[in-house]
Chain A
Amino acid sequence: DTGVSQDPRHKITKRGQNVTFRCDPISEHNRLYWYRQTLGQGPEFLTYFQNEAQLEKSRLLSDRFSAERPKGSFSTLEIQRTEQGDSAMYLCASNPIAGGTDTQYFGPGTRLTVL
């Protein structure tokens, strides 16, 4: 296993369009997290899943954002009616419950540009 993967790596879209990103966590990692990172800032938490259950959502996650993890494996993050302020790097991370590890392993991110 080579780590957390994200697709696409880059997405350019026009304002008002919908976009969907995919994250494949490390195999058997129960917890999956989405963060958003804007230029010059640290990642900001958006939401996380434990298996298929979405357990926490940040207030940053407006009603235009929705995330799913239908079978407890990969996850998707959809942004509807994109705005220029949505331009950012969207990062996915995962970690296992077993072993009590807190280490979150990050993917390479999806860079979104909204024109």
Chain B
Amino acid sequence: GENVEQHPSTLSVQEGDSAVIKCTYSDSASNYFPWYKQELGKGPQLIIDIRSNVGEKKDQRIAVTLNKTAKHFSLHITETQPEDSAVYFCAARAGGNDYKLSFGAGTTVTVRA
């Protein structure tokens, strides 16, 4: 099955700086890669996603890049704000008739004011 690894496990940044989280996946057939943000006591909320036919996607301060050859994808958050503090998860979907998501272990991001 799909195996997703995520690094780093914790990340502390100064407000206004950038944060980068990296993930690798094992199944070359995977074709959908979402990123979720989870705040304490809440369910994961989608913040951005990318499909395998696209190399990069941006939404305001958030961007995701995908390298299919290397089987890795990254989340970039620019101009970080205190409200960006949360746990972030990357995930991958294998494609075809396999609809489940395989998640990384998460990155706890702390934005220092």
Contacts and interface: CB of A to CB of B under 8 A. Distances in A.
A72 interface: no
State the main secondary structure of chain A at its contact with B: loop
B12 interface: no
Interface residues of B, number: 25
Interface stretch (A35-43, A62-70, A77-85): A35-43
B49 A44 contact: no
B42 A108 contact: yes
B45 A106 contact: yes
Given A33-B99, A106-B45, 17 more contacts: A4-B43, A41-B106, A42-B6, A42-B104, A42-B105, A43-B89, A43-B101, A45-B102, A56-B99, A58-B100, A91-B43, A102-B51, A102-B93, A102-B99, A104-B34, A107-B43, A108-B43
Interface of B: 4, 6, 32, 34, 36, 41-46, 49, 51, 89, 91, 93, 98-106
A44 B42 CA distance: 16
A48 B44 contact: no
A41 B42 contact: no
B44 A91 contact: yes
Given A33-B100, A45-B100, A102 B106 contact: no
Given A45-B101, A102-B93, A104-B101, A109 B43 contact: yes
Contacts of A106: 36, 43-45
13 contacts: A4-B43, A31-B99, A33-B101, A35-B101, A40-B106, A41-B106, A44-B103, A58-B100, A102-B49, A102-B51, A103-B46, A108-B43, A109-B42
